[in-house]
Amino acid sequence: MLRITDDRNQFTQNLFTTLPERYDLLAEVLSMGQNGRWRRTMIDHVVPSSPSTILDVACGTAGVTLQLARRTSAQVIGVDLTEGMLVKGRQRVVDSGFENRVQLVAGRAEQLPFRDGAFDALTFTYLLRYVDEPQATLLELARVVRHGGIVASHEFFVPPNAFWRAWWLLYTRLVLPVGGWLSGGRAWFRVGRFLGPNISAHYRKYSLAWTVDAWRQAGLDDVHVRVMSLGGGLVMWGTRRHE
Ligand SMILES: C[S@@+](CC[C@H](N)C(=O)[O-])C[C@H]1O[C@@H](n2cnc3c(N)ncnc32)[C@H](O)[C@@H]1O
């Protein structure tokens, strides 16, 4: 059992503990199918390097973890701090027949239980909005990737174009909470109400330029950015620098 003392981690655990049962369906419905597109695009940048070992951080119910197992022949480890999400994820791993290649463990992105350079590739999704120190967390993620290994991620984004940003604001401030309530009850209403302001606040503090620089400061080179879905999604990838 993971012992959490950090307030931010505690808040995140509470938020996600009630979600696992319907998480995968509602993540797709409430993102209007875009979550799956961002996930595929991110994994497209991992597959060509034919990694033997991959770490998927903030794996939740193993949606990304299982796609990585399907699309590569790697041993894949998923790590997450919410036990409820991991329980659901482990059930999905068994149902998919990947127990021999996929393992899910409890852990914090801020302090990963792995040695330096342990993985050929690493993915993380919807993570940096949930940590107190994104720069320090990126350093920790890069630490466990071997030199020359791939790091890839996807996240929500705020549309840069004013017209699409107005629609995005309407969607995140009104449709998400109401849609969350109608489809998933009180727990999803809470998430729906939390998400929009949380995404806006994150990018007010950590702009895209800051984020790209933070990847570089963490020891990643060839950092690429692809803004998707009219600006609602952000896929990034880079390579762990050779010393
Ligand atoms: C929105 S879910 C995404 C799950 C999965 N990546 C996906 O795309 O389906 C975010 C996940 O991040 C996990 N998480 C948040 N902060 C974390 C941290 N500091 N360390 C590890 N996991 C974290 C949460 O527990 C939650 O399962």
3-class state of residue 57 by DSSP:
strand
Atom of ligand 1 nearest to the CA of 124: 6
Its pTM surpasses 0.85: yes
Q: Is the CB of 68 under 6 A from ligand 1?
A: no
Q: Ligand 1 test: best mutation among 3, 13, 15, 16, most atoms within 8 Å of CB?
A: 16
Taking residues 179-198, report their average pLDDT: 87
pLDDT at 130 over 90: yes
Closest CA to ligand 1's atom 14: 58
Check residue 1 and give its pLDDT.
66
pLDDT at 3 over 80: no
The protein residue with its alpha carbon nearest to ligand 1, atom 8, reads: 125
Largest CA distance in the chain: 52
- 189 versus 39: which is more confidently predicted? 39
Averaged over 79-85, what is the pLDDT? Answer: 94
pLDDT digits (tens, 9 = 90+) for 96-107: 999 999 999 999
87-96 confidence digits (pLDDT tens): 999 999 999 9
Dihedral pair phi/psi, residue 78, rounded to 5°: -105, 140
Q: Is 66 in the pocket of ligand 1 (CB under 6 A)?
A: no
